[in-house]
Each structure stands twice: as structure tokens, then as C-alpha cells.
A and B are shown apart, each in its own frame.
Chain A
């Protein structure tokens, strides 16, 4: 393995990046050696993905240098990064269903003999690659659409090192893999390490790190806080580094909620996603479901809103059993939801603020059953503009022209028009600036103070601890721990990441395919 003077393959020095007013990276240093698996960890928004985007050529750094094998990398070109020997595997497989495995692996860089693709050479090479990652070498000629998702992910990994990369970046590769496949992946990664490839391994699952990585770099708030050999750190210590010093001031001190639960979920389950979920949220209570990506929190939210209904269990709202087969059912039961993907599920981008706010309340705003009350729509929108400080000149402003935070406020305003009995919030502040984040938290607590039940589904740990009265940690589609107020971030993170208090962590044991 490593010898006297380790060879540095990738080196970042003082890299800075701003997005508008947000400093995503504030002078990060990072290096990857030949024959090393270097884990990169950090909370959401710590700057990992920005760093990866800069290395893979999808973004340009504002300041600082990136060198591959001692040669400066021209920023902003994925082609240049690839040519320099950097290969990236993204979480979502980027494959073409109608093309075969071999074609996907070589797309755009086919092995050619004349104008024609050299099929024999490709087949041989793909056969080797597939054998290496533990797939049947014969599937080189199978259409990708005919493979299960996990195998597709492995194919996209094969694609990344088909072209003899110097540095391989794996962005949460294990999030949708099963145990067996993770073991295979680790095997491949070890082989590549032995062959002298430098590997950047990004994961939220801290228990994996000890099994695969040589060094760990922890990022927080756009800066690198530590780089250490993995064996010197426990899961718990990594979690503490990620979190930093605990927030000393609690944002709110709310009265302990009491009374009969507004939302009462018993034995809720959906095959392959989550099971046996029991959950009560009392009036004025804010409960958080916290879990890593793929843990099953997202399907729970969708089931409670009737998007993908549960197959077992019962849900009661204010003691009345409700059937949640569609969002209409949920709305009728007094449940509202702020969806997690603002762009795809939240906004109507080329429509006005007023349109966006009123869109879930058309019947409520109707006169004589069909005539749309535009005056009332406008007054509601104006009201919100004032109440929640949406920075826009008028309710007619097109939502697509607003910043992410303001867009999110508009979508949240839609849920608040008629104070719902139960409000589900999925990743309520993802991709919004600090000001909007506080504003959104204030609005949510305000609603709760009015007696509504709030359920926050989030992968943002500080947020969860800041606004929730109770935190339920979800892993493998089931609630594994419950924390009250004042829980430490490290404890919650360790529980979610697979630390069961001393027992050896088991690699990859969890429900698969939960989120997809």
C-alpha cells in the first residue's frame, strides 16, 4: 500500500464559492492520495456537494486552485475534468433505459473500429468490468431498463471506471443498494485502491466509513474542520465533529403540549417502504421524523398525505378515523403538506404569487360553486405578503422570479390559508437562506401555537432539534429511537446513522428502495 512519500492525485487549496449571498465554500482544502479511500462527510449544506461539483467540472470556484496530478484543472467543463481523469458517480443513475449496459458504459466514448463501434472490444471490456463489480458478465447486452434499480446503480459505477480514472468520486453510492451489493461495491473500491486509484467516498452512513475508508474529512459550514485517519475516530466522534459545538441557545421555549392527540397513527405500513409506524402528535406539538436519505421518512410523509397510500394501519385526526387514498382525502381530513421538492412538487413557476397561494383552495374561494373570487384571492395574497415578508412588489409577481427562500414561503403560505389541523412539512428549509429559514420556523411555530399538530420530516438535524418538541429517529423504515427536547445532535445522528449503543454496526442493514 502506501510508501514513503504518498503521491497526491487531487489537491484543492483555499477553494471558495458563493451562491448569491450564501457562502457555500469558505476556503476549503482537500487532498486525495493515490491508493486511498477518502471519506467526505458533513451535514446537508456543509459544502460537500459544492466541492464535488467544482472537482467534476459542473461548477467553477470563485477562488482557490484545483490540481489533478499536479496539473491545474480548467473549471466549469465536465469534459475537461473527465479528460483529466476524474470520474463521478452520482446518487441517481444517469443511464439510458433503451441502450444496453455496454452501450451505456461507453456512451459518447465508444471504442471504435472505423466508424463502427468495436462491439467485440466493448463486450470484452464490459465483461471484465461487470465481473469486477460482481455482476453477471453476460448482462453487457441487456437493456438497462430491464435491470433492477440497484444493478443499474452498479452499472453506473462500472461506467465511472471504464475509462481508467485517476480519481473516482462516489456520491452516496450506497443509498439505494442492498447489503450484498454494498459488499460488492466495497470489494470493487478496495480493488481500485490497490490499483492506485484515489477514491472520494461520500456517505451519510457513518457506520460504513470504518469498513471502507482510510481517512475521513469532515466539513461544516463550507469549511473543512478535520481530516484524520478513520481508525482514530468512532462514529460518535465523527458525528460530534460534523455537528460542532452544540447550539447554546434554544430558539424557543414552548409550553409542553397536552391534550388528546390531533394526529394519531397506529401500525401504519407500506410494503417495501416502512412498517408498524405508531405516532401521536398532540395539539400545539411539533414532532420531527428524522432519518437519513433512504431511511423511509419520505414514503411516510407521502402516505400520510395520500399520495402513495399506506396498505396497513389506521390514521385518526381529532379522534376520527380517516381514509387517506388521495390528497383530497387528506385535505378533507384537515391535513396539509409542504412537499419536499419545491421545484417539482411545490411551485407553479410561471404563475403569480396569488395563483400559487390560492391553488389548493379553489373551492374555498368559489362563489356560487364555480365563480372564482379573485378579489378574495388577492386580499389573501396581499395579507401573506405582509405577514411573512415575501420580498416581491405585488401578488402578481411570477413565482419563478423569486429566490428559493421566497418561493418556499409562497408554497408554505398555500398550506396556511386555512389553518390546517395537521401540517406535514417535508424538508421545509432545504436550499433556502438563513433569513427565510427563521421566518419559516416562526410561521410553523405560530401555527402550532394555534393548536395545530405539526410533523416535520427532515434530514436537517439542527433544524429538527431547534423546532421539534420530540424527535423520532427512523431507520430501515421503522422508528428506532425517540428523543425529547434538549437531545444532543451527536446522539440523534448516531442513532440515525446506525450506532446502536456499543453493538457493532452492521453494514447496510436496512430496508432498500425506501425512497425511490
Chain B
């Protein structure tokens, strides 16, 4: 059936050059997600600065505060990158189990380093390897056995979170070797800049650079985008469709394993429900990814967009914590998260309908 794929409205060079300034601004805002997000980021920061100067905030929304807030950005930025890989891989790709992997891999880390007394390095390796392994189970289900991703990762979400809870009889591990890891997340002083949590540099940036190299600069990324955009055509173009899609889930698991390390260090404790408590970590991660311009139909999305989206959400949330008293701040964070998700998805739809592309 040919009618199902609505061809994007043709945009040819002539039109692009001849368009008026407002039309051009609109096109850039809709198709260049990073630009739009950067503008929004500036608006958010300026807005809260103004509120702060007007005395509407309970504490100053200053550079030091923004630097501190980055601590909560690390896990979500990493998990949003995990979702980036699986959603880009196409065929309804999504990973609901990332939070459960964070819990389970974190417990593995807690057990190895905190209970069985393994040295740090093998424990770290074990934690990340378990994450990758759990991701591989998802990948096998989705890519090789052709389970719908939503259902496969819902099932493994249940299974992994259950195993995490049972692994230490529903108790956190907070032995001295685990507590010592908290130093990983201490703030570091930088010349000319406010103190920033150490793991922004030791974990987030290296992971982001690696993900960017993989997706935007390596042949693997090309293959993944091809598979996600049109897997039949990718097959004809000699791509190994199944293997490539499988690998996206492994990478997602691997990044979740890294997040497990980060959360254990942040809490100074390996908690069996670290990634699943409340609404879990998967939901905000998917939200950030979609906000960052990752299109749910696959083949579209970039690391840069996801990072800026994570930063935007982090500083927006941080501002709202200051704007409201007590639990009200975190309440409004929910509203913002929901609205932002729906609106950014509407924006994605609009951009694809109107310009046939999104970057």
C-alpha cells in the first residue's frame, strides 16, 4: 500500500532561498531542534534570574546553584541517550526497562564492591557488563525474536526490577566501601566557573562524546540511522538490520549500567528500587529524548539535541524548586514534564509534516 506513507511536502532549493525572514525563522526553529532548545534554555535562565531579582524565589538562582543542579542532570541525560539509541533503531523502538536495569546493575555493583569485597575496577566492569547483558536480552527479544519493543521491555522491566528487589531482600546496601564512592560526585572547583559535580566530567561528558562519535561520526551510526529510517531499504543496502537493531538495545543497557554506578555514588548506597521508585527513570528519559528531537518512528535524533534538552529540563526543574515552597515545586515539575513532552511531540509532527525533516 502506497498511501500509508505520506510523502513530505517537497522543499526545493529555490523555495529555501526565496523564503521570507519569518518563514525562515519558523523553519529553523522547527527543523533545527538544537537551536530552538538553546533559545528556550536562555529564556528559562533569564526568566528565573528576573524572578530571583524580583524576590520571588526562595533562594538565589545563581551560577553556583545552576552548577550544583547538574548533579541531577547526569542520570537523565545518560538514560535519554540510551533511549536515543533504541528509538532511532526504529520499528517502534523504546526501552521501558532502563530504570529496572539501573536498579539491578546497581545492586550487582553494591553486592560486588560492598558485600563480596571485590576491588573497585572489577566491580565497575561487572556492573556495566550486567547492564549490557540485560540490554542484550531486550535486544534479542526485539531484534531476533521480533517482540514489539514496548511489550518486551515492559516484561523485562518487571523481571529486572523484581530480581533487583529480591537480590538483597529488598534492603539497600550501604556498607563503607559503597559510601566511599560518594566522593565521585563531589563538586570540583574550576577556574572562572562555579563548582561542578565531578561526574559531569568523568562520566557524562566522556559518554556523550562517545555516543556522538558513534552516532554522528562512525559507520555504525550511519547503519543505525539507515535501519531506523527504513529497514527494508537498509537490508537492500547490505546493512545487517537485525544485528544493528540488537546492538542499540545493548548500548542502552550499557548506558543504564553506567547510570547505576552514578546513582549508587550519588545516594552513597545501592538501592534496590533506585531506578523504579515512583514513575521510574524510563519516563523522564523518554521525555527528554523526545524533547531533544528524537522522533518516535525511528531514524531521527541527535546527541546534541538530547543533551541540550536534558540541560533545559534540569535548569527548568531547578528553577521551579525555588519558585514554589515545599513539595509544590516537584509537583509543578510533573506538569512541566508532561506539557513539554506533548508539545515537543506536536512540534515534531508539525516539523515532519511541513518540512519532511527534523534534525
Direct contact of A and B (CB under 8 A): yes
Which residues of A approach B to under 8 Å, CB–CB? 92, 305, 307, 327-328, 330-331, 337, 339, 343-351, 355, 358-360, 362-363, 365-366, 370-372, 374, 392-394, 397-398, 400-402, 414
B20 close to A (CB within 8 Å): no
Chosen A-B contacts, 15 in total, with CB atoms closer than 8 Å, are A327-B237, A337-B236, A343-B5, A344-B230, A346-B236, A349-B229, A350-B8, A350-B357, A360-B237, A365-B219, A371-B218, A374-B217, A393-B12, A397-B12, A398-B356
B222 and A349 contact, CB distance less than 8 A: no
The interface on chain B, measured as residues whose beta carbon lies within 8 A of the other chain's beta carbons, has a size of 36
Interface 1/0 per residue, B94-106 and A, CB below 8 Å: 0000000000000
Known contacts A362-B223, A366-B218, A372-B217; 9 additional CB pairs below 8 A are: A307-B235, A347-B230, A347-B233, A355-B225, A370-B220, A372-B219, A372-B221, A397-B13, A402-B10
A398 to B7, CA, bound (A): 12
Of A343, A348, A362, which contacts B219 at CB under 8 A? A362
Interface 1/0 per residue, B205-245 and A, CB below 8 Å: 00000000000011111110110011011111111100000
B327 close to A (CB within 8 Å): no
B279 close to A (CB within 8 Å): no
A350 and B300 contact, CB distance less than 8 A: yes
A360 and B238 contact, CB distance less than 8 A: yes
A358 and B233 contact, CB distance less than 8 A: no
B222 and A359 contact, CB distance less than 8 A: yes
A402 to B357, CA, bound (A): 13
A350 to B222, CA, bound (A): 14
A372 and B11 contact, CB distance less than 8 A: no
Chain B residues with CB under 8 Å of A397's CB are: 12-13
A330 to B238, CA, bound (A): 9
Q: Which residue of B lies closest to A339 (CB)?
A: B236
Chain A residues with CB under 8 Å of B356's CB are: 349-350, 398, 400-401
B299 close to A (CB within 8 Å): yes
Of B2, B299, B357, which contacts A398 at CB under 8 A? B357
Enumerate B313-359 residues with CB–CB distance to A below 8 Å. 352, 356-358
B238 and A92 contact, CB distance less than 8 A: no
A468 to B8, CA, bound (A): 36
A402 to B240, CA, bound (A): 27
B13 and A393 contact, CB distance less than 8 A: yes
Chain A residues with CB under 8 Å of B358's CB are: 350
B233 and A348 contact, CB distance less than 8 A: yes
B193 close to A (CB within 8 Å): no
A2 to B286, CA, bound (A): 68
Nearest 3 A/B pairs, CB to CB: A393-B13, A362-B219, A360-B237
Of B7, B13, B222, B236, which contacts A362 at CB under 8 A? B222
Q: Which residue of A lies closest to B5 (CB)?
A: A343
Chain A residues with CB under 8 Å of B226's CB are: 348, 351, 355, 359
| Least distance between B12 CB and chain A CB atoms (Å) | 6
Q: Which residue of B lies closest to A394 (CB)?
A: B13
